[in-house]
Structure 1
């Protein structure tokens, strides 16, 4: 991740954005960066209203955007008091995530900062469909921030996958670690790297062995209990070798490297809690990467901000 000169901060029109403003101000001071505030809105009720002609609809949209721009001007004043250059705008766009990405490219943003929303009934933070689309589609580094996290980052955790599952490119892990280390260095934070791997469960292993015992599979291939320990040890050795190959060039302290046996959707939230992680850095590639049921379980459960970085596409 290159130096950050412009932080695009995506605000919510009807929410308390103060926690996000505090985070944007903190990051801008660390990087000596500018802040661009934006509200991306679309009101389907307004568009489908029977009371507006096309001309009246345009006027109604303009009036709505102007009211939001006044709100943004008050936010801008609080940032200006911190001696940070700031600009702002409100735009009408659907879908929401496309408007954010287009605007980020237009203003030359180096980082997109967006808040997540708390579910009113469950009292829990969830990523919205637009958040997931942003994670999937943005080639610009993206931080999805949670209201419960502090503005200042002290512990950064990079999650990598040296096995390159789902056809992710080898360079993605390097990008994730490099971004995490650069970010941690700028924040004067501690950087950790982890990879979680999942062995075949013993019950599944045993069931496969029983199935092969009735004439399925090669005769010299056994998956009995006596072979399970050997399989676990061999898997750990292979994962350790791949993990060390990736992290070796970065010269991180051994105590900051974590090869963990277990499902990532279980282990990563546990690590975030135990290590008091403020920022989890993950990678996306070619409109895939994070998207999927496993990722949704991980990101909805971790009680920290998430930084997504993506391989740049031509």
Structure 2
């Protein structure tokens, strides 16, 4: 089998659909001489989510969100044998943080979930579409959700 991919980055949203995305990435890794698999989940900064012009300290809430994301990631990754050093929780914009991490770690494939939206929803964009545009490597969008 081909050894085209050596370093795979899986961008997940921590939903149940993430299991399907992770499974697909692990299958690809197995077909590519057990390519390295890393996982990233990006939390948007609370300032972005809540307008940024509210004068309040959101540090403790951001820390709670980070802790919750780490626990959820541990639950999801338990069956996939992803080492701790290959698990990343970042704060920022999901597409740009995924691109940055992919470049830093010389990733040759990014795997994301996609709900396969059409029309106006597609034009307005989504995280998977944002990751696709400007990615430094190949991107595989795995169909998830009701329209699989």
- The TM tier, using the shorter chain, reads 0.7 to 0.9
Aligned equivalents of 1:244, 1:198: Cα separation in 2: 20
Cross-structure match for 1:36: none
Aligned residues: 141
* 1:178 is aligned to 2:30: no
* 1:158 is aligned to 2:10: yes
* 1:237 is aligned to 2:67: yes
Aligned equivalents of 1:297, 1:178: Cα separation in 2: 22
Deviation at 1:295, TM superposition (A): 3.8
Q: Please, which moves more after superposition, 303-312 or 251-260?
A: 303-312
4+ aligned runs moved over 2 Å, structure 1: 204-209, 287-291, 293-298, 311-314
Higher RCO (CA-CA < 8 Å; seq separation 6+): 2
Deviation at 1:205, TM superposition (A): 6.6
Gaps of 5+ in 2: none
RMSD: 2.7
Cross-structure match for 2:32: 187
Aligned equivalents of 2:12, 2:72: Cα separation in 1: 11
Aligned equivalents of 2:140, 2:8: Cα separation in 1: 10
* Alpha carbons 2:46, 2:52 under 8 Å: kept: no
Gaps of 5+ in 1: 1-29, 32-150, 165-169, 210-223
* Alpha carbons 2:47, 2:53 under 8 Å: kept: no
TM-score, structure 2 length as denominator?
0.81
1:176/1:295 CA distance change after superposition, 3 Å? closer
Cross-structure match for 1:280: 110
1:161/1:293 CA distance change after superposition, 3 Å? closer
Aligned equivalents of 1:205, 1:313: Cα separation in 2: 33
Cross-structure match for 1:119: none
Aligned equivalents of 1:294, 1:153: Cα separation in 2: 23
Cross-structure match for 2:84: 254
Secondary structure, aligned partner of 1:158: strand
1:228-251 C-alpha deviation (Å, 9 max, x unpaired): 221121111111122221112212
Which of residues 86, 95, 103 is equivalent to 1:265?
95
TM-score, structure 1 length as denominator?
0.41
* Alpha carbons 2:112, 2:128 under 8 Å: kept: no
